[in-house]
Amino acid sequence: MLSLIALVALTNVAQALRDDPGLASRLDVIVISGGAMHVEKAPAPNAPAKWNLFIDPHAADLVFCSGAPLVLVPLDATGKHDPSPILLNRDLARRFAADAHGRESQLMARLMMGSLLTDPGAKAVPLGDAVEPAVCADWRDLSIHVALDPDAVAGQTLVDASDMPNVRVCLGGDPAVFETAYLADGR
């Protein structure tokens, strides 16, 4: 069996599903970072679609309709809008940097501090591509379709309460679990 983690547009995943019609049934899960369920002030130009789905809405729609097991971590769980957001704050970045032993971890620590330094007034920055399911505290099974019409904001995730769920969605994070997992990865 196989798991895929998609942190960008779903173009390649959709192409693989088209090229191999049996692939969806052989996958354990496709974990997708993208979309926004209840976030009204997502960054332009793709509000409220979020870039990963906005950039290729037809591919996203194919993946969401594929029948493959899907987990979605939308902007709701990784942004400042969530009541308990998964954020990278200065204290966490410093603790990660102090414990970073490998070359990759040290590079990550520098990138984290660089993100915080780009906005000196920022106390924290959202982690838009957090896909570790263990950090989610609010799971929902939902039926999600992707808007294809540009007038309807192409790439927007639309919940259809009348249809069977096709996606397991993380709508809220657990900051304490996130910090523990993130710091453990630095070693």
From CA 28, how far away is CA 182, in angstroms rounded? 24
Q: What is the mean pLDDT of residues 114-142?
A: 72
Residue 41 has pLDDT above 80, yes or no: no
Q: Which two tokens stand for residue 91?
A: 């204290």
What are the extents of the domains in the chain? 2-86+127-173, 87-125
pLDDT in tens, 75-103: 777 666 556 666 667 787 788 778 877 88
Amino acid at 113: M
Q: Indicate the pTM of the whole model.
A: 0.77
Q: Which residue has the higher pLDDT, 126 or 102?
A: 102
pLDDT value at residue 80: 61
pLDDT value at residue 146: 93
Alpha helices in 44-170 (DSSP H): 51-54, 57-64, 75-78, 90-99, 103-117
Q: Which two tokens stand for residue 41?
A: 């002030």
Q: Which residue has the higher pLDDT, 29 or 45?
A: 29
Q: What is the mean pLDDT of residues 111-137?
A: 69
| CB atoms near residue 118 (< 10 Å) | 8
Q: Which residue has the higher pLDDT, 27 or 99?
A: 27
What is the third-level CATH fold of 2-86+127-173? Inosine-uridine Nucleoside N-ribohydrolase; Chain A (3.90.245)
